[in-house]
């Protein structure tokens, strides 16, 4: 009996190790999430540093854009949008996940570098509100937790573009146009929310688009050109 128990225990341990090995092999790309250990401390330092002379970002167009508190909904949905898109590709399309990660990580790193050497901020937020409702309350929570500094380029805009591009290039999602167009509409609302909530200047939005246009060819166009050549190589 003792021998059988030891044997069963040994088989159980072997099965656990085998299963763990398969999981680690299948999701070996999880190392990408380690970037958070670089980004979060760096961004936290940017938000808390003192004695810095900030350049205020402003565009003449900002004065013509009204504050609309209802845009807080798509603004907050940004977190769900980015997380859902990233996890979807993590579990279903490894190559798409790597591309999305390369796109967003490159842009986020450039954002950190820009804000480190070019401290920037904005003074667009309203001091009083016309309405008193739950949407305004949510905006006030955002204002209290998110400083009006380190705004250029807008990561809300850039990462929304990154998720949209990844969805557009997804082989699986090409078969689901409703999902794709729904994601594009949400991304557009998120981008609009950044200026209607006075979280960003139009300049921040344009800067995010410019950064996306700069990174896109490196991550997608060049890689697409290399793929056919790799397929022709002898195995």
Give the per-residue pLDDT at 234.
Answer: 45
Q: What integer pLDDT is reported at residue 90 of this predicted model?
A: 97
- Of 117, 115, 125, nearest to 148 (Cα)? 125
Residue ranges of the domains in the chain?
A: 30-232
Which pLDDT score, from 0 to 100, does residue 222 have? 75
Please report the pLDDT score of residue 42 as a whole number. Answer: 98
Answer for the pair 154, 204: CB distance below 8 angstroms, yes or no.
yes
Give the span between the Cα atoms of 190 and 74, in whole angstroms.
5
Q: Which two tokens stand for residue 199?
A: 């979280």
d(CA 84, CA 28): 19
The whole-number pLDDT of residue 230 equals 38
Which alpha helices (DSSP H) does the chain contain, by range? 2-26, 36-48, 72-92, 94-117, 134-145, 155-168, 177-196, 202-216, 222-232
Nearest to 117 by CA among 188, 13, 44, 46: 46
pLDDT tens over the chain, length 235 residues: 555 455 455 555 555 566 556 666 788 999 999 999 999 999 999 999 999 999 999 999 999 999 999 999 999 999 999 999 999 999 999 999 999 999 999 999 999 999 999 999 999 999 999 999 999 999 999 999 999 999 999 999 999 999 999 999 999 999 999 999 999 999 999 999 999 999 999 999 999 999 999 999 999 987 666 655 533 444 3
How many Å is the maximal CA-CA distance in the chain? 83
The whole-angstrom separation of Cα 4 and Cα 14 is: 15
pLDDT for 226 equals: 60
């Amino acid at each position: 009996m003792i021998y059988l128990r030891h044997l069963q225990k040994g088989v159980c341990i072997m099965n656990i190790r085998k299963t763990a090995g398969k999981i680690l092999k299948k999701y070996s790309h999880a190392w990408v999430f380690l970037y958070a250990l670089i980004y979060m401390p760096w961004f936290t330092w940017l938000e808390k540093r003192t004695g810095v002379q900030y350049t205020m970002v402003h565009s003449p167009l900002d004065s013509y854009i009204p504050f609309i508190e209802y845009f807080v909904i798509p603004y907050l949905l940004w977190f769900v949008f980015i997380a859902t898109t990233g996890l979807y590709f993590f579990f279903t399309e490894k190559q798409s996940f790597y591309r999305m990660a390369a796109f967003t990580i490159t842009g986020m790193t450039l954002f950190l570098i820009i804000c480190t050497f070019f401290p920037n901020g904005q003074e667009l937020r309203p001091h009083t509100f016309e309405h008193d409702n739950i949407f305004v309350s949510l905006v006030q929570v955002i204002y209290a937790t998110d400083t009006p500094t380190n705004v250029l380029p807008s990561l809300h805009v850039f990462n929304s573009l990154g998720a949209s591009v990844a969805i557009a290039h997804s082989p699986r999602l090409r078969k689901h146009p409703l999902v794709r167009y729904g994601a594009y509409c949400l991304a557009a609302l998120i981008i609009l929310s950044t200026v209607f909530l006075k979280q960003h200047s139009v300049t921040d939005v344009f800067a995010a688009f410019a950064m996306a246009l700069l990174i896109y060819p490196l991550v997608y166009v060049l890689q697409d050109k290399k793929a056919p050549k790799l397929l022709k190589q002898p195995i």
